[in-house]
Amino acid sequence: MTYRITRLLALVAIVLAAAGVVGTPAFAHAGLKSSNPKDDSTVKDSISTIELVFTEDINPRYTTVVVTGPGGAKVADGKPQVKGDTVTQELKADLANGRYALAFRVISSDGHPVSEELHFTLKVPEPTPTTEDTAGASPEQSVSTPPTSAEPVSATPAAASSSTDEGGATIPAVLLGLGALVLVAGVVVLVAGRKRATGPDA
């Protein structure tokens, strides 16, 4: 009886030992441990990189990261960088607000492929206009004021021009009148001279 119990206990020990070997991490596959940004998170600050951390080291030769922004635009900048269990992907500058998709495919050090797609929403607040910007865009400054002359415009030159024109037209008339008077006086003198020459009886 004791011999049977001993054999049974030995068999149980062998089974438990085998189960323990099968369950060791050496037989586990790599998986995503964490990401930045997190899946389905909302990012309120500008970001320039994406970071993926796995449970095992990643083979840098077979690592692919694709980041798609609003409208299907590809926003990944360059190739992903691998350092041990961490994958870093640079992003393009000035990302637009909206929903982004992050798809990756990596191969762990034991040759097991891992692929997944994550999502995050970028919602960076718009910059608030400063007081100087508001003052610079005021309607009073935007409306142009026509330049004013330092001295008032005088109408004297026009009047002077008019007087000159009138004077120029008056001088010939005066000369014409004087000529007529001289002519009349000459006629009178001629007639009087003839009367004197002929005498009163003639």
- The three-class DSSP label of residue 28 is coil
Domain annotation covers residue 181: no
**Averaged pLDDT, 72-77:** 96
- pLDDT digits over 163-196, tens only? 445 555 566 665 677 777 767 667 666 766 666 6
**Averaged pLDDT, 107-128:** 93
Domain annotation covers residue 173: no
Q: What is the number of residues in the chain? A: 202
Domain annotation covers residue 166: no
Question: Which tokens hold the place of 202?
Answer: 């003639």
pTM of the model: 0.53
**Averaged pLDDT, 85-101:** 97
169 vs 160, more confident: 169
**Averaged pLDDT, 37-58:** 96
Q: Is 52 exposed, middle or buried (0-12, 13-18, 19+ CB in 10 A)?
A: buried
Domain annotation covers residue 75: yes
Q: Which of 70-74, 109-113, 158-162 has the highest mean pLDDT?
A: 70-74
Residue 84 belongs to what domain range?
29-122
**Averaged pLDDT, 136-153:** 55
Task: Let me know: does 121 contact 99? Beta carbons within 8 Å.
Answer: yes
Domain annotation covers residue 6: no
CATH, residue 54:
2.60.40.1220
Residue 53, H or E segment:
strand 49-54
Domain annotation covers residue 69: yes
- Give which of 113, 103, 107 is closest to 82, Cα–Cα: 107
Domain annotation covers residue 149: no
How many domains are there within the chain? 1
Domain annotation covers residue 34: yes
14 vs 167, more confident: 14
**Model pLDDT, residue 172:** 61
- Give which of 129, 81, 140 is closest to 106, Cα–Cα: 81
